[in-house]
């Protein structure tokens, strides 16, 4: 009986019975259970969590044990235990019911999440193909069509940039430029590609714009801040000056690509063979390299990605970057053989490497701006893709580096 009492005390202590409940439990007589009696049938291995398992076959406190694990409990004993620990029993029962009730909603939520991701992927692919076809037509058209389309993209991208600058995450550490200055800067950025096409260079327009901007900030009411000037000037450089090099690349390099096979069969109504210039071929290869780099980097990261590339963009990995570099160089070599430009294999590899480096640098720069702003996307203009800056971030620096490569390192524009 001593062993029984000890075990009972341990189990009762687990239930933290009050002195009143303990006295009621010990004073209850052992008599048969009447109607609505409770018979708890459990195996000895499952009796422990109820606090009712006692060594021995029979006790005087209202418990009756059998070898097969059947326990008969007096109603007063049940009442005492319920008074002693009602919350714990209710919580266990409620938790079991909640688990049973949430099993189906959780499955439905998972299925809904997968369906939503599939829908977003489908939308992303559809809009991506549409944008790709539109960009291809604009690049082939060239001239004013290409320049005006680029100016529209630059204007929207500049608006998104200055909205990021005014976001809470960035304004906590600096003073943003006034809203009217941001709007004027967006207009100036949109005019830069047009000035580049008309004048052939952009140095004068950028210098004049920076001077006007600095004057407006210095003469504003209140205390001018250096952060206002630096963020606005960087906006002119990032959103206006750098994209204008695409106009210099596409429309400025007018030397004909005489060896291009596609040009020999190009319709006369669309410009004939002279329409296929070095600028057109270089632009097509650069854009194709960027698309290949993003696609192969995404697939490589999904399949082999383990090592993070940088904290600026946690989803990018070294493995995906290496696969993207290989895909970019392979695309550059293949297109150089199809379009017969550039002539040497080494030039094609160098051009692919340069395009890949510029695209990754532009992507990380925009990721850094969004991280400081505390946002995921720069906007929501393009369904499934975010804002314009989210789509053209890889192209911002690429045009300038591609133009410099073709103009300086390839003799006679690479022909």
Domain membership flag for residue 377 = yes
Q: Which residue has the tokens 């049940």?
A: 78
0.75 exceeded by pTM: no
Domain membership flag for residue 182 = yes
pLDDT digits (tens, 9 = 90+) for 330-376: 999 999 999 888 888 999 999 999 999 999 999 999 999 988 888 88
Whether residues 62 and 194 share a domain: the answer is no
Give the C-alpha separation, 290 to 279, whole Å: 17
How many folded domains does the chain comprise? 2
Element (DSSP H or E) covering residue 250: none
Q: Which of 86, 104, 121 lies at the terminal end of a domain, its last residue? A: 86
Q: With CA atoms as reference, report the closest residue to 79 among 71, 69, 70, 89.
A: 89
Q: Which of 60, 86, 112 lies at the terminal end of a domain, its last residue? A: 86
Whether residues 200 and 64 share a domain: the answer is no
Domain membership flag for residue 304 = yes
Whether residues 317 and 175 share a domain: the answer is yes
Domain membership flag for residue 239 = yes
Domain membership flag for residue 320 = yes
Q: Which domain holds residue 240?
A: 140-414
Task: Give the end-to-end CA distance of the chain in Å, rounded to a whole number.
Answer: 105
Give the C-alpha separation, 339 to 317, whole Å: 32
In eight-state DSSP terms, residue 255 is -
Whether residues 147 and 56 share a domain: the answer is no
Whether residues 76 and 225 share a domain: the answer is no
Whether residues 227 and 349 share a domain: the answer is yes
pLDDT digits (tens, 9 = 90+) for 143-160: 999 999 999 999 999 999
Q: Which residue has the tokens 């995404």?
A: 298
Whether residues 180 and 309 share a domain: the answer is yes
Whether residues 382 and 265 share a domain: the answer is yes
Domain membership flag for residue 368 = yes
Is the predicted pLDDT of residue 26 greater than 50, yes or no?
no
Domain membership flag for residue 155 = yes
Give the C-alpha separation, 217 to 215, whole Å: 5
Structure tokens at 22: 């303990």
pLDDT value at residue 406: 92
Is the predicted pLDDT of residue 186 greater than 70, yes or no?
yes
């Amino acid at each position: 009986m001593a062993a029984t009492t000890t075990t009972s005390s341990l189990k009762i202590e687990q239930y933290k019975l009050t002195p009143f409940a303990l006295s009621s439990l010990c004073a209850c007589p052992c008599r048969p259970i009447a109607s609505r009696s409770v018979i708890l049938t459990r195996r000895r291995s499952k009796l422990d969590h109820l606090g009712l398992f006692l060594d021995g076959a029979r006790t005087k406190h209202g418990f009756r044990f059998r070898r097969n694990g059947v326990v008969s409990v007096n109603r007063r004993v049940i009442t005492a235990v319920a008074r002693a620990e009602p919350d714990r029993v209710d919580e266990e029962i409620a938790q079991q019911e909640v688990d049973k009730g949430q099993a189906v909603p959780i499955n439905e939520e998972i299925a809904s999440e997968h369906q939503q991701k599939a829908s977003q992927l489908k939308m992303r692919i559809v809009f991506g193909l549409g944008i790709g076809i539109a960009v291809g037509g604009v690049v082939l058209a060239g001239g004013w069509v290409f320049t005006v389309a680029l100016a529209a993209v630059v204007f929207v991208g500049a608006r998104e940039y200055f909205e990021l600058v005014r976001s809470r995450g960035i304004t906590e550490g600096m003073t943003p430029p006034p809203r009217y200055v941001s709007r004027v800067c967006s207009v100036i950025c949109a005019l830069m590609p047009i000035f580049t096409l008309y004048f052939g260079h952009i140095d004068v327009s950028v210098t004049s714009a920076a001077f006007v901007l600095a004057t407006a900030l210095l003469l504003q009411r209140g205390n001018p801040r250096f952060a206002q000037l630096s963020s606005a000037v960087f906006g002119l450089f990032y959103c206006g000056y750098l994209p204008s090099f695409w106009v210099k690349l596409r429309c400025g390099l007018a030397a004909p690509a005489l060896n291009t096979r596609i040009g020999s069969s190009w319709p006369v109504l669309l410009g004939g063979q002279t329409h296929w210039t070095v600028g057109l071929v270089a632009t097509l290869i650069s854009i194709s390299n960027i698309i290949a780099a993003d696609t192969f980097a995404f697939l490589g990261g999904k399949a082999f990605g383990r090592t993070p590339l940088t904290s600026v963009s946690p989803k990018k990995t070294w493995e995906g970057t290496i696969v993207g570099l290989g895909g970019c160089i392979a695309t550059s070599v293949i297109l150089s053989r199809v379009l017969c430009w550039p002539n040497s294999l080494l030039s094609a590899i160098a051009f692919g490497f340069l395009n890949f480096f510029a695209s990754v640098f532009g992507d990380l720069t925009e990721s850094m701006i969004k991280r400081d702003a505390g946002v995921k996307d720069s906007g929501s203009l393009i369904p499934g893709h975010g804002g314009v800056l989210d789509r053209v971030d890889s192209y911002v620096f690429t045009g300038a580096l591609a133009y410099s490569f073709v103009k300086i390192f390839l003799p006679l524009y690479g022909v």
